[in-house]
Amino acid sequence: MQVRTEGIVIRSTDYGEGNKIVTLLTNTHGKAGIIIRGAKKLKSRHGSLSQLFTHGEYLFFRNSGLGTLTHGEIIESHHVLREQLDMTAYSSYAAELVDRALQEEDASAFMFEQLNACLNAFAEGKDLLITTQVFEMKILQAAGYGPEFGECVSCGNTVGTMSLSANSGGILCSRCAYKDAQAIMLGDGALKLLRLYQQLDLRRLGNIQVKEETKLQLKAAMRLLMDTLIGIPLKSRSFLDQMDRYSI
Ligand SMILES: [Zn+2]
């Protein structure tokens, strides 16, 4: 079967003499693995189509399993994302999340658009952390773990200080927070932003100004959600953590 689709390279590995196997997140066929023959040859026309984060149009043959690329055109090479260390680190994390944490049936056209918007936001110089957190929320929602931020998940209370409880899938009010020893208290700013993350389509992400204190709370909150609900150790995540430690 011949497939023509738009895709973004989320994984690229060497295969045999000069070939590459890439995984694409496509806008019509979920995640698709394809062999790109001769991708590593210097003069290969297809070389750039196999690079991580490349957004292109891909034409390939597939019966079952891996497809074989026959033709492709680059829409956006995203080379800036491969050249700057911090952008590379965050983009690698977004790509690895899609590769490892997103189930095949959840790899929708909407998620393709969200990854595309995420990489574009990085390239445009938008806040790397905030952009990544919105993307993490889209992953959680796609995987069926979208948290409840409207009211206390235990008693329905909507007033007072709220804590985030990943174990209960949402927020707990001050009366109920004792039910989860891991719950972390959220300031008004952090809760407001978490609600925004949930509603936001990344294609409409503007420049969000966030106080340092709120950023720290958001960091802890998103980390707790991702570790508890997704819980897959990712190489790119460890690298981000290392970068974080050295920059402080
Ligand atoms: Zn409550």
CB under 8 Å to 167, separation ≥6 — which residues?
A: 180, 182, 183, 228
Per-residue pLDDT of the chain (248 residues; tens, 9 = 90+): 999 999 999 999 999 889 999 999 999 999 999 999 988 876 777 888 999 999 999 999 998 889 999 999 999 999 999 999 999 999 999 999 999 999 999 999 999 999 999 999 999 999 999 999 999 999 999 999 999 999 999 999 999 999 999 999 999 999 999 999 999 999 999 999 999 999 999 999 998 889 999 999 999 999 999 999 999 999 999 999 999 888 75
Task: Provide the angle, in degrees to the nearest 10, between the axes of the packed helices 109-123 and 128-142.
Answer: 170
Distances (CA, A) of 189 to 120, 130, 173: 26, 13, 16
Q: Could you tell me if 99 and 193 lie in one domain?
A: yes
Is 159 in a helix, a strand, or coil? coil
Q: Could you tell me if 135 and 67 lie in one domain?
A: no
**Of 57, 77, 97, which residue sits at a domain end?**
77
Q: Could you tell me if 67 and 12 lie in one domain?
A: yes
- The angle formed by the CA atoms of residues 171, 138 and 168, to the nearest 5 degrees, is 25
Retrieve residue 160's tokens.
């007072």
CATH, residue 180: 1.20.1440.120
CA of 214 to the centre of ligand 1 (A): 23
CA of 156 to the centre of ligand 1 (A): 6
Q: Could you tell me if 126 and 194 lie in one domain?
A: yes
* φ and ψ at residue 207, rounded to 5 degrees: -95, 115
Q: Could you tell me if 116 and 235 lie in one domain?
A: yes
DSSP character string of 19-67: EEEEEEEESSSSEEEEEETTTTSTT-TTGGGGSTT-EEEEEEE-SSS-E
Q: Could you tell me if 113 and 227 lie in one domain?
A: yes
**Of 44, 77, 110, which residue sits at a domain end?**
77
CA of 147 to the centre of ligand 1 (A): 15
CA of 24 to the centre of ligand 1 (A): 43
Domain region containing 11: 2-77
**Of 77, 93, 108, which residue sits at a domain end?**
77
Q: Could you tell me if 41 and 67 lie in one domain?
A: yes
| Domains identified in the chain, total number | 2
Q: Could you tell me if 118 and 70 lie in one domain?
A: no
Q: Could you tell me if 104 and 128 lie in one domain?
A: yes
